[in-house]
A and B are shown apart, each in its own frame.
Chain A
Amino acid sequence: MMAYCFNLFLIIALLVFQTSFAPNFKLFYGFFNLMSLFVLYLVLYRPHQEIIVFILLAGVLMDSSSSCPFGLYTTIYIWLSLGIKWTLKYLHKENVIIIPMIFSGVILVENFFIMSGIGLIDNDFSFHPEKFRSLIYQLMYGVFLGPLIILWIKKLHAKWNSWSFEKIFKHFG
């Protein structure tokens, strides 16, 4: 129950940060999609039932907040989670180099899916250099900051789990 509350809180916090806070600062230009990082975190460290519920929720909320065709992000997250699960069969996830590598792959696959989705409904679609620059920024941010944020989420989750409803009620009298 506490884990579900944590994930819900985290999804909302990440989405609000990405849509209402980050666009006000130039520092975050080309920042990677935080929700895909959350998907990676779920697949790496959370049990199956949590992954399914929160991947669907993350996808639906992203689809609703964006002007993309409804279902695009849900589709991306489902296929990404399957792909990451399959990749982890052959890789040791505790290795330092693995998480940045997988996250770079996640960023590339996500952008590829979006381009395919756009191409599906727009015949005039072409890959503009501006988007290429944005992709490079995403990869750079992702390789350096992605693993750190995942570690931070992991620690935060452990801290959250150490609490319980009894402790909270006791604290507030």
Chain B
Amino acid sequence: MVIVVSLILLFFFNVLALFISGRHYYSPQVYPNGHSGGVGQYFFPIIAPFQKGLTKTLLFGEELWTHYFYLVSVAKENEELEYALRNAIKKNKECLETEFSNQRLRSFLNFQKSMANDTIAAQVIGRDPSPWFKSIIIDKGSYDGVRKGLPVVIPEGAAGQVIEVSSRYSKVLLLIDRNSAVDSLAQKTRARGIIRGSSDGKFLFQYVLKKYEIHEGDTVISSGLDGVFPKGLTIGRVFSVSQNSSGMFQEIVAIPFVDFEKLEEVMIVLPYSDQEDVRS
């Protein structure tokens, strides 16, 4: 009887502790040294050096394979490349012409050149061990200027947000994780909503009012209003739109531009206030 009561008490205490831990984990609080304050920051750096070692070894193996073991087909490939190079030179000339006309048009329209934020490049050294959660470990930490809450991007668009920082490594919550949320806009109609991750690797574009006409294929970009992601980063393309009879909002599913399965290198975007510190 005592064991049963103890187990029940332990279970309730356990659920309560998990609930508190779950609420605290995603809170945006940042400590002065740039660390995230959670217990996790002391433990994942134990595994990270091994993950980094294995990733480097795999990359080395891949390079070895590409450079030495494929030499047999290099001669044939060389001929093809020469042909491709001739085509590329021709296209390059066309591109130069397009670039010149582009510059002329830009100056004509008096576009103001916008100053881009500084970024820190980082390599992905580990992925989330659980299929239920979507995060990555990168090889840059507070020593490199990374802080909790900074946005992570790749050329295709927004990728995630830093959620935990140690001195040399950081954990990034990917946008496809269910706990992720980005204030976004439909590029064409400027309809505002929230992009959230879902279980199937797609995005849910939530809280978009029914008065806006959203079509399949429309691009969704970051609005910049959440204070995390800079405005105008591409996020996804609208996959399906449905308007239920009840409720104020549409149900929109979007497909990410970023291939989260193939992330290898990412860039952490620094806020303007940090850029002078990193430069110095």
Which A positions have Cβ atoms within 8 angstroms of B? Answer: 12, 15-16, 18-21, 23-24, 30, 33, 35, 60-73, 75, 79, 111, 114-115, 117-118, 120-122, 125-131, 134
Contact = CB atoms under 8 A, between A and B. Distances in A.
Given A15-B47, A70-B38, A117-B22, A65 B128 contact: yes
Given A75-B14, A122-B178, A66 B133 contact: yes
Given A24-B58, A75-B18, A121-B19, A61 B47 contact: yes
A19 B128 contact: yes
Counting chain B CB atoms within 10 Å of each CB, the highest count among A64, A79, A126, A131 belongs to: A64
Contacts of B58: 20-21, 24
Contacts, number: 127
B: interface residue count bin: 35 or more
Interface of B: 14-15, 17-19, 21-23, 25, 38-44, 46-47, 50-51, 54-55, 58, 125-135, 137, 163, 171, 173, 177-179, 198-201, 261
A121 B128 contact: no
Contacts of B199: 126-128, 130-131
Contacts of A68: 130, 132-133
B126 A20 contact: yes
Does more than half of chain A's interface fall in helix, strand or loop, or is it mixed? helix
Nearest to A131: B199
A99 B43 CA distance: 31
Contact of B134 (A67, A126, A129): A67
Nearest to B47: A15
Contacts of A120: 15, 18-19, 22
Given A67-B163, A130-B199, A19 B21 contact: no
Contacts of A111: 132
B47 A128 contact: no
